[in-house]
Chains A and B, each alone.
Chain A
Amino acid sequence: KAGVTQTPRYLIKTRGQQVTLSCSPISGHRSVSWYQQTPGQGLQFLFEYFSETQRNKGNFPGRFSGRQFSNSRSEMNVSTLELGDSALYLCASSRDITTYNEQFFGPGTRLTVL
């Protein structure tokens, strides 16, 4: 069974640009969560999607947005990039809301903003 896949694995952008990251959950998983990981702040929750609906949102500015498609694949978008957005962005999937605790993480997308 394939794990969670994230594309691209590495990305370099400049300030002011926007970026879209993609996540494909494990087959059969319908819940997708996104996290930002930085050395200083650790892992911080961005948002969670289930059945194409955003169910939870972390404390990030509106420049961070996401969506989920009918096949459960999810994308997150960051507009007007800032230097502080440089981070590892992790996606995690779980079968459904009741198994939210048993999330499986992807390898992440390393975003560097210059």
Chain B
Amino acid sequence: GQQLNQSPQSMFIQEGEDVSMNCTSSSIFNTWLWYKQEPGEGPVLLIALYKAGELTSNGRLTAQFGITRKDSFLNISASIPSDVGIYFCAGRGGSEKLVFGKGTKLTVNP
């Protein structure tokens, strides 16, 4: 089945630093989604990407749908303490099921 490899698994950064994380797929995806999950809550959709090459921003967050349709990255600029959480990528290929990466745990030191 489809698998997503998300990296890094965890990141420890200083407030103000930029962050980058990515996901790669073993097969072609038609959609890439990025979610953030905070403790005790369900994932919240941050950015949705629907076309290869698409670059979309949401405030300090920017995500891109890779040209090969097998990868996507998420950048967070000028991190702040409330960026702490687990970030998930998710993708959908030929089937309608969403496949999730295992998450990147972000810690921001003030």
Q: Check A90 for interface membership: any CB of B closer than 8 A.
A: yes
- With an 8 Å Cβ cutoff, the count of chain A residues facing the other chain is 25
B40 close to A107 (CB less than 8 A): yes
Cα separation A87 to B87 with both chains bound (whole Å)? 18
| A21 CA / B96 CA spacing, docked (Å) | 24
Are B48 and A102 in contact, CB atoms less than 8 angstroms apart?
A: yes
- Sampled A-B contacts (22; CB under 8 Å): A4-B42, A33-B98, A35-B100, A42-B88, A42-B102, A42-B103, A43-B100, A44-B100, A45-B99, A90-B42, A90-B43, A92-B42, A100-B96, A101-B50, A101-B92, A103-B98, A105-B35, A105-B42, A105-B44, A106-B42, A107-B40, A108-B42
Query: Which residues does A use to contact B, with CB under 8 Å?
Result: 4, 33, 35, 41-45, 48, 55-56, 58-59, 90, 92, 97, 100-108
